[in-house]
Structure 1
């Protein structure tokens, strides 16, 4: 790893006590033991990326997803472990058989090779089933992020990484006279939008429950790319009619995106996804959801969330309030300082 203080490359034996062998300053995270092999410079890089060069605020959850991007468990891991265990058992079994059976060495080797080939063939045949039943979950929980990353970080740097906020501690203000409402059942998303000034910028009410939406307001809907998320989008369109603007995320936005956070539970029941027949989703998206895949809207970085909200408001204003839309385009309505 690179020392976060003096930038020299440190071999493991040069940093065993949690200090740089050259400058003797302490660092927070040892990549060999930290979750997702995090180290101080990577935490800083993730923080800079989430802040987007303009001091945006981001939540613990957004950081956790950013850290796990491209580091999620593989679908073939169960099959690979099964094959590894089989090869190990076979190796030792063949060795013991050669010692105690009295069979010729070539005979024992032949038996071992036959069993190896059979095991590989069986493993390959079982892989589709194993892949279908294998889950993909976050390798870093919120609790481990706090205890194994943030607490050591705070001991060294006396504060959290720049821009990070605890979504449970962020107040969600309600404008006195809201012009728009945004519904998202994820507290992290609402906290990010609130911390970055969205309620003041747009006179926007940020709500977890669609039943809390004041009468008559245009409603923006942010949801997971999941069966419950699409059910929320369906309900919003039914409840609010043309006032509803579903921003996503849709399965098609993430299912082919290698950089997206794509998680997986067990395959869903046919009855649970029957409502998709009347929804604007493709057959390929339905199959993706049926296989148990989903993607959290909380994995969207702050800049992407703010951009989605801004564009949605512009479209609403263009339709319902052209004068306000023009004022926003020429800069009369400016973004407040976060």
Structure 2
């Protein structure tokens, strides 16, 4: 971690100064590694149990060799090292929970940027704002853009970091209402149902018929938001602009994180959200991929495309969910700034069949 590397990451993340990004987004961009490990059960036998059995058994074998002599005594002597080797090999390995880290840790990176960097350069890099600090007057002017007419779309963002990014860059470039949920403390715990309920309550006060664009992480709660909102608001256009677990789980460049416990089981994710069984189990276990880690230029383009689609697309017929709007607009890119694939996020035939079966 050094000045030149951070400056290069800032230039890339801001699109050479075209965008304003948050400190959390810069932290993801400056990560040096993202080690993760799956959960493993307890294996082996505890040391005191192994040696409580092996040592008396070895002593008995030695005594037997002395008494028996001959061929039987030789066999007993050969068995002694075998018993000792087995006792050493059956080493106890305790149960290990799943984990995923982002290096350096966020607290370390923030201390660096607000400490040594600020002391040297007098402030954060140009175009970087701290999302944990309230937006100033200038930021509010940028976020609350002059509107030539009433709102055309509702952007519902479940990640406050991304909501701040959209506000700082006056995205999307249409009159809109930006709704965001409270910051979710990703410290574990069954928060999934509560987050889904919060989104429903947040949108309940905006029954204007405006199309809705949902921006969310690739996590258990995020996969449920769009199908639940379509069921709760029949006849209203709801477009998915969040991360799809299937797109990011197979990409090694995607930031992978883990928070134990979601409160949502795999069967619910599979039947309601149409998530494949293996992905549903991983999400229910607590694996998730943050949308704030998506390169900002790609994120800005994806949200813009989703909003344009939501505004122009005809509303689905009442009580008939989905059809052309059940698609995602964001897939994890291999290269920053790489255009999104033309077929990214389109629904499979099995997904459409599932929609018909549940209508």
Q: Structures share a fold, TM > 0.5?
A: yes
What is the DSSP-based 3-state SS (H/G/I as helix, E as strand, rest coil) of the residue aligned with 2:30?
helix
Q: Which residue of 1 aligns with 2:109?
A: 145
Superposed CA deviations along residues 31-77 of structure 1, whole A, max 9, x for unmatched, are xxxxxxx2112211211121122421111111122223x61233179
Larger Rg: 2
Q: Which residue of 2 aligns with 1:185?
A: 158
1:194 aligns to 2:194 (yes or no): no
Give ranges in structure 1 of 5+ residues lacking alignment.
Answer: 1-37, 87-106, 322-338
Contact 1:136 1:263 in 2 (8 A): yes
Deviation at 1:211, TM superposition (A): 3.4
Alignment counterpart, residue 119 of structure 2, candidates 144, 155, 158: 155
CA distance in 2, matches of 1:76, 1:191: 33
Residues 111 and 154 of structure 1: CA distance in aligned 2, closer, same or farther (over 3 Å)? farther
Q: Which residue of 1 aligns with 2:244?
A: 250
Q: By percentage of residues, which structure has more helix? A: 1
CA distance in 2, matches of 1:238, 1:221: 14
Deviation at 1:315, TM superposition (A): 2.1
CA distance in 2, matches of 1:214, 1:198: 22
Q: Which residue of 2 aligns with 1:218?
A: 211
Contact 1:174 1:206 in 2 (8 A): no
Q: Which residue of 1 aligns with 2:306?
A: 312
Residues 55 and 138 of structure 1: CA distance in aligned 2, closer, same or farther (over 3 Å)? same
Deviation at 1:243, TM superposition (A): 1.1
Contact 1:227 1:273 in 2 (8 A): no
CA distance in 2, matches of 1:59, 1:134: 28
Query: Alignment RMSD, CA only?
Result: 3.5
1:63 aligns to 2:22 (yes or no): no
Residues 284 and 134 of structure 1: CA distance in aligned 2, closer, same or farther (over 3 Å)? closer
Deviation at 1:251, TM superposition (A): 0.7
Deviation at 1:287, TM superposition (A): 2.3
1:169 aligns to 2:162 (yes or no): no
What is the DSSP-based 3-state SS (H/G/I as helix, E as strand, rest coil) of the residue aligned with 1:221?
strand
What is the DSSP-based 3-state SS (H/G/I as helix, E as strand, rest coil) of the residue aligned with 1:169?
coil
TM-score, structure 2 normalization: 0.60
Give ranges in structure 2 of 5+ residues lacking alignment.
Answer: 48-78, 181-201, 316-359
CA distance in 1, matches of 2:37, 2:161: 28
Contact 2:212 2:237 in 1 (8 A): yes
TM-score, structure 1 normalization: 0.64
Q: Which residue of 2 aligns with 1:40?
A: 3
Contact 1:174 1:205 in 2 (8 A): no
Deviation at 1:155, TM superposition (A): 0.8
